Structure 1
Amino acid sequence: MTDAVDNLPDNVAELRAMVRYRDLLIEKLKHQLAGLRRHRFGSSSEALDQLEMTLEEVEIAAAAEPVGPSSADLALAKGQPKRRPLPDHLPRNELMLSPGEACSRCGGRLKTLDEDVTEELEYVPGRFVVNRVVRPRMACACCEAVHQAPLPSRPIERGRPGPGLLAHVLVSKYADHLPLYRQSAIYGREGVDLERSTLSDWVGRSTALLEPLADAIGRHVLRAKAIFADDTPVSMLSPGSGKTKTARLWAYVRDERPWVGSAPPAAWYRFSIDRRAARPLDHLGSFEGWMHADGYAGFEDLYRTGRVREVACMAHIRRKFFDVHAAQGSAIAAEALQRIAALYAVEQEARGQPPDRRAAIRRANAAALFDDLGTWLKAQLPKISGKSPLAAAIRYALARLPRLRAYLENGILEIDNNTAERAIRGVAVGRKNWLFAGSEGGGKAAAIAYTLIETAKLNGIDPQAWLTDVIGRIADHKITRLDELLPWTYAQHG
Structure 2
Amino acid sequence: WQKMGLPVTRQDIINWQTKSTEYYLEPLYQLLKEKLLEQKFLHADETTYRVLESETVKTFYWTFLSDKQAEKPITLYHHDPHRSGQVVTSFLGNYSGFLHCDMWQAYGQLVQATLVGCWAHVRRKFFEAVPPEASNKSISNQGVRYCDRMFALEKDWENLSNQERLQLRQKKLAPLMEEFFDWCRKHKAMTLPNSKLGKAFAYTLNHETTFKHVLLDGRLVLSNNLAERAIKTLVIGRKNWLFSQSLNGAKSSAIILSLIETAKRNDLDPEKYLKYLLYKLPNESTLTDKEALSAYLPWTKQVQASCR
TM-score tier by shorter-chain length is 0.7 to 0.9
Q: What secondary structure does 1:319 align onto?
A: helix
1:370 paired residue number:
177
> Structure 1 residue 219 and structure 2 residue 34: aligned?
yes
> Structure 1 residue 205 and structure 2 residue 19: aligned?
yes
> Structure 1 residue 487 and structure 2 residue 298: aligned?
yes
* Of 202, 207, 210, the match for 1:400: 207
In the TM superposition, what is the alpha-carbon distance from 1:244 to its structure 2 partner?
6.0
* Of 252, 264, 269, the match for 2:77: 269
The residue correspondences of 1:123-202 to structure 2 (distance < 5 A) are: 196-202=10-16
> Structure 1 residue 246 and structure 2 residue 54: aligned?
no
Aligned length: 298
* Of 391, 411, 416, the match for 2:218: 411
Give TM-score scaled by structure 1 length.
Answer: 0.56
Larger fraction in strand:
1
In the TM superposition, what is the alpha-carbon distance from 1:254 to its structure 2 partner?
0.5
In the TM superposition, what is the alpha-carbon distance from 1:238 to its structure 2 partner?
3.7
Inter-partner Cα distance in structure 2 for 1:290 and 1:407: 9
Query: Is contact 1:324-1:333 (8 Å) kept?
Result: yes
When residues 356 and 299 of structure 1 are mapped into structure 2, their CA distance, relative to the original with a 3 A threshold, is same
1:102 paired residue number:
none
2:228 paired residue number:
421
In the TM superposition, what is the alpha-carbon distance from 1:322 to its structure 2 partner?
1.6
In the TM superposition, what is the alpha-carbon distance from 1:282 to its structure 2 partner?
0.7
1:386 maps to a residue whose letter is P
Inter-partner Cα distance in structure 2 for 1:418 and 1:199: 35
Q: What secondary structure does 1:237 align onto?
A: coil
Inter-partner Cα distance in structure 1 for 2:44 and 2:132: 29
2:51 paired residue number:
236
1:270 maps to a residue whose letter is H
> Structure 1 residue 448 and structure 2 residue 255: aligned?
yes
Instruction: Indicate the RMSD between aligned Cα atoms, in angstroms.
Output: 2.4
Inter-partner Cα distance in structure 1 for 2:86 and 2:218: 30
When residues 355 and 450 of structure 1 are mapped into structure 2, their CA distance, relative to the original with a 3 A threshold, is same
* Of 93, 108, 125, the match for 1:285: 93
In the TM superposition, what is the alpha-carbon distance from 1:286 to its structure 2 partner?
4.0
* Of 238, 243, 246, the match for 1:439: 246
When residues 212 and 377 of structure 1 are mapped into structure 2, their CA distance, relative to the original with a 3 A threshold, is same
When residues 385 and 245 of structure 1 are mapped into structure 2, their CA distance, relative to the original with a 3 A threshold, is closer
> Gapped runs of 5+ residues in structure 2?
none
2:294 maps to a residue whose letter is D
The C-alpha deviation readout for 1:66-104, integer Å capped at 9, x for no partner, is: xxxxxxxxxxxxxxxx95538xxxxxxxxxxxxxxxxxx
Q: What secondary structure does 2:51 align onto?
A: strand
2:15 maps to a residue whose letter is D
When residues 379 and 266 of structure 1 are mapped into structure 2, their CA distance, relative to the original with a 3 A threshold, is same
1:312 paired residue number:
117
> Structure 1 residue 469 and structure 2 residue 280: aligned?
no
Query: Is contact 1:292-1:310 (8 Å) kept?
Result: yes
Sequence identity, in percent?
Answer: 29
Give TM-score scaled by structure 2 length.
Answer: 0.88
> Gapped runs of 5+ residues in structure 1?
1-81, 87-159, 161-192
When residues 326 and 279 of structure 1 are mapped into structure 2, their CA distance, relative to the original with a 3 A threshold, is same
* Of 103, 108, 123, the match for 1:300: 108
1:49 paired residue number:
none
1:321 paired residue number:
126
When residues 326 and 386 of structure 1 are mapped into structure 2, their CA distance, relative to the original with a 3 A threshold, is closer
2:293 maps to a residue whose letter is L
Q: What secondary structure does 1:216 align onto?
A: helix
Query: Is contact 1:228-1:293 (8 Å) kept?
Result: yes
When residues 350 and 492 of structure 1 are mapped into structure 2, their CA distance, relative to the original with a 3 A threshold, is farther
Q: What secondary structure does 2:58 align onto?
A: strand
1:116 paired residue number:
none
Inter-partner Cα distance in structure 2 for 1:430 and 1:327: 34
Query: Is contact 1:256-1:264 (8 Å) kept?
Result: no
Query: Is contact 1:228-1:417 (8 Å) kept?
Result: yes
Higher relative contact order (CA 8 A, sep 6+): 2
Structure 1 segments (4+ residues) deviating >6 Å: none
1:236 maps to a residue whose letter is V
When residues 327 and 216 of structure 1 are mapped into structure 2, their CA distance, relative to the original with a 3 A threshold, is farther
